Structure 1
Amino acid sequence: MQANQYLHHNGKIYKADKLLISPNNRSFRYGDGFFETMKMINGKIILADYHFERLFTSLELLQFEKPNYFSPNYLKTQIEELAKKNYHSKLARVRLMIFRGDGGLYDPENHFPNHLIQTWELNPSNNILNENGLVVNIFKDARKACDNYSHVKSNNYLSYAMAALWAKKKQLNDALLLNSYDRITDATIANIFIIKDGIVKTPALSEGCISGVMRRHLLKCLHEENIPVEEAKIEPEELLQASEVFLSNGVYGIRWIKSCGNSNYTNTLAALFHKKFVTTLS
Structure 2
Amino acid sequence: VSQADQAQVIPLLEECLTLSEEVGFKEGIAAYDCVSGQLAFGRGDLITARSLAEKSVELYREIGHRHGTAKSLAVLGKVVATGGDYAAASTYYEQSLAISAELGEKWVAAVYLVELGEVVAALRQLAWAAQLWGASEAVRDALGIPIFLVERADYERAVSAARAHLGERAFATAWAHGRSLTPEQALAARGQKPAPTSTKIVTSPTTYPAGLTAREVEVLRLLASGMTDIQIATKLILSPRTVHAHISSIYSKLGITSRSAATRYAIEHNLA
TM-score, reference length from structure 1: 0.26
Q: Which structure is larger by alpha-carbon Rg, 1 or 2?
A: 2
Higher percent of residues as strand:
1
TM-score, reference length from structure 2: 0.26
Higher percent of residues as helix:
2
Q: Return the structure number with greater relative CO, CA threshold 8 A, min gap 6.
A: 1
